């Protein structure tokens, strides 16, 4: 589970990070990674290039001292997170409870809304409840059409409709997932991927495509084209089977 903290007060940021680390040890959470930052772009860049189950603790009001960052609040960051991570858990940490109405208005589906003014015990309890719930739910379906993958190295879920294709990388047993909103790399094999859903098709030794997102097929050059301009090569022996699969859908 990946845990992201956005907090511009360094003291509060480190306090929350240490609290989460303590709870994670006490609850024996496995494979927990924490990123704490004052910079919203740090979080966006990380979740764009990495897969995993994510929970976000976002300070709604931050002092933006970064001229190259157009995100000036945890609320704005939450909206951008939702464009990339449909399943991540959002937890807002703030001194202004009136922002709760905004999260409901924009359908951000927050897991909790924790006020900084509560007692230390209440704050600790609220953080622990969020972590426990997110950790327990991380292996469950949150969508009727989610692609869920799990092996010894990684586990994640992503809307199936977002996936374009998977391809091998120059690193042995490391794959790259090309999706509509992100490019992610993780350790797995082509065989592990293709067996997860019958809408996935292995078009070559190094590539597995989502049949539902194929835009066109260039038969002459044996290329699969996607709406975003991406291309995959189809092996000569796979082309006829691919065309039959598409015609039968």
Residue positions counted in the chain = 249
User: Cα-Cα-Cα-Cα dihedral of 137, 143, 148, 153, to 10°?
Assistant: -30
pTM for the model stands at 0.72
Give the integer Cα–Cα distance in Å for 156 and 18.
25
pLDDT tens figures, 164-212: 999 999 999 899 999 988 888 999 999 999 998 899 999 999 999 999 9
CATH numbers and ranges of domains, the chain: 2-137 (3.40.50.2300), 146-247 (2.40.50.1020)
Helix 74-84 with 40-49: angle, nearest 10 deg: 10
Ordered per-residue pLDDT tens for the chain, 249 residues: 899 999 988 999 999 999 999 999 999 998 889 999 999 999 998 888 777 789 999 987 776 554 455 676 777 888 889 888 877 889 988 776 655 555 555 555 667 888 888 899 999 999 999 999 888 876 554 555 788 888 888 878 888 999 999 999 999 989 999 998 888 899 999 999 999 889 999 999 999 999 999 999 999 999 999 988 899 999 999 999 999 998 887
Q: Percent of the chain having pLDDT more than 90?
A: 49
Say if strands 2-6 and 33-37 run parallel, antiparallel, or are unpaired. parallel
Say if strands 214-218 and 231-233 run parallel, antiparallel, or are unpaired. unpaired
pLDDT tens figures, 16-25: 999 999 999 9
């Amino acid at each position: 589970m990946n845990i992201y903290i956005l907090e511009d007060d360094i003291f509060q940021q480190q306090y929350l990070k240490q609290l989460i680390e303590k709870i994670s040890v006490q609850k024996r959470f496995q494979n927990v990674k924490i990123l704490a930052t004052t910079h919203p772009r740090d979080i966006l860049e990380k979740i764009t290039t990495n897969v995993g189950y994510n929970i976000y603790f976002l300070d709604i009001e931050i002092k933006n001292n970064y001229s190259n960052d157009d995100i000036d609040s945890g609320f704005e960051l939450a909206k951008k997170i939702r464009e990339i991570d449909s399943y991540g858990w959002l937890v807002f940490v703030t001194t202004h409870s009136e922002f709760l109405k905004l999260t409901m208005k924009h359908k951000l589906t927050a897991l909790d809304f924790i006020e900084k003014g509560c007692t230390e015990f209440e704050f600790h309890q609220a953080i622990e409840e969020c972590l426990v719930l997110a950790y327990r739910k991380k292996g469950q379906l949150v969508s009727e059409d989610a692609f869920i993958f799990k092996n010894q190295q990684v586990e994640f879920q992503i809307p199936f409709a977002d996936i374009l294709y998977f391809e091998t990388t120059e690193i042995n047993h490391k794959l790259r997932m090309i999706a509509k909103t992100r490019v992610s790399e993780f350790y797995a094999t082509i065989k592990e991927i293709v067996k997860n859903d019958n809408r996935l098709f292995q078009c070559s030794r190094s590539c597995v495509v989502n049949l539902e997102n194929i835009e066109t097929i260039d038969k002459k050059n044996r290329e699969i084209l996607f709406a975003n301009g991406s291309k995959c090569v189809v092996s000569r022996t796979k082309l006829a089977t691919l065309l039959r699969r598409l015609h039968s859908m």
